[in-house]
Amino acid sequence: MPAGAPRGFYDTENLFAPRFGFSFSPFRDDRTAVRGGIGIFYDKPEGNIIFPLLNTPPFPQVVSFQNGSLANPSGGSAPAAGLVPDINSIDPHLKVARTMNYSLGVQRELPLGVLLEVSYVGNDGWHLLRQPDINQPSFAVLQANAALPTSQQLTTNQLRPYQGYNRILMFLSDSTSNYNALQVYATKRKGDFMASVSYTFSKVLTDASVLGAHSDNPVDRHYSHGVADFDRRNILAVTYVYASPFFRNRGGFMGAAIGGWELSGITRAQSGQPITVLANAALGKGTNVNGRRANLVTGQSITVPTRGPSRWFNPAAFANPSPTSPGTSGVGSVLGPGFFCYGPFAAQSFKNCQGKA
Q: Which of 178, 307, 183 is nearest to 236 (CA)?
A: 183
What is the number of domains present in the chain? Answer: 1
Q: Tell me what percent of the residues of the chain surpass a pLDDT of 90.
A: 32
Instruction: Give CA separation, 212 vs 175, 289, 306, in Å.
Output: 10, 18, 37
Q: Is residue 39, in this structure, part of any structural domain at all?
A: yes
Q: How confident is the model at residue 346 (pLDDT cuts 50, 70, 90)?
A: very low
Instruction: Please indicate whether residue 6 or residue 98 has the higher confidence score (pLDDT).
Output: 98
What residues have CB less than 8 Å from 165, skipping those under 6 apart? 83, 84, 87, 135
Whether this model's pTM surpasses 0.75: yes
Q: How confident is the model at residue 218 (pLDDT cuts 50, 70, 90)?
A: low
Q: Which of 311, 294, 314 is nearest to 303 (CA)?
A: 314
Q: Is residue 200, in this structure, part of any structural domain at all?
A: yes
| Helix or strand run (H / E) with residue 258 | helix 252-258
Could you report the per-residue pLDDT of 8-64, keeping only the tens digit for each?
778 888 899 999 999 999 998 989 999 999 999 998 877 778 887 777 766 666 667
Q: Is residue 25, in this structure, part of any structural domain at all?
A: yes
The confidence score (pLDDT) of residue 311 equals 87
Q: Please check whether residue 53 is in contact with residue 135, taking contact to mean a CB–CB distance below 8 angstroms.
A: no
Q: Is residue 245, in this structure, part of any structural domain at all?
A: yes
Q: Is residue 74, in this structure, part of any structural domain at all?
A: no
Mean per-residue pLDDT for 319-323?
79
Residue-averaged pLDDT of the chain: 82
Cis amide linkage into residue 137, ω under 30° from 0: no
Q: Is residue 65, in this structure, part of any structural domain at all?
A: no
Q: Counting Cβ atoms within 10 Å, is residue 321 exposed (0-12), middle (13-18) or buried (19+)?
A: buried
User: In which domain, by residue range, is 240 found?
Assistant: 19-60+79-356
Q: Which of 341, 343, 317 is nearest to 330 (CA)?
A: 317
Instruction: Please indicate whether residue 329 or residue 121 has the higher confidence score (pLDDT).
Output: 121
Is the predicted pLDDT of residue 263 greater than 80, yes or no? yes
Q: How confident is the model at residue 258 (pLDDT cuts 50, 70, 90)?
A: confident
Q: Which of 10, 91, 84, 88 is nearest to 55 (CA)?
A: 88
Q: Is residue 67, in this structure, part of any structural domain at all?
A: no
The confidence score (pLDDT) of residue 105 equals 97
Q: From the CB of residue 327, how many other CB atoms can be counted at a distance below 10 Å?
A: 23
CA atoms of 300 and 295, how far apart (whole Å): 11
In one-letter notation, the amino acid at residue 202 is S
Is the predicted pLDDT of residue 334 greater than 80, yes or no? yes
Q: Which of 22, 19, 40, 188 is nearest to 117 (CA)?
A: 188
Could you report the per-residue pLDDT of 171-210, keeping only the tens digit for each?
889 899 999 999 999 999 888 889 999 999 999 999 888 7
The confidence score (pLDDT) of residue 196 equals 95
Mean per-residue pLDDT for 83-112?
90
Could you report the per-residue pLDDT of 116-157, keeping only the tens digit for each?
999 999 999 999 988 888 888 877 787 788 888 888 888 888
Helix (H/G/I), strand (E/B), else coil: 190: coil
The confidence score (pLDDT) of residue 74 equals 67
Is the predicted pLDDT of residue 227 greater than 90, yes or no? yes
Helix (H/G/I), strand (E/B), else coil: 109: strand
DSSP state of 317: G
Mean per-residue pLDDT for 277-304?
73
Among 106-120, 129-143, 159-173, 262-276, whose mean pLDDT is lowest?
129-143
Q: Is residue 122, in this structure, part of any structural domain at all?
A: yes
Q: From the CB of residue 301, how many other CB atoms can be counted at a distance below 10 Å?
A: 11
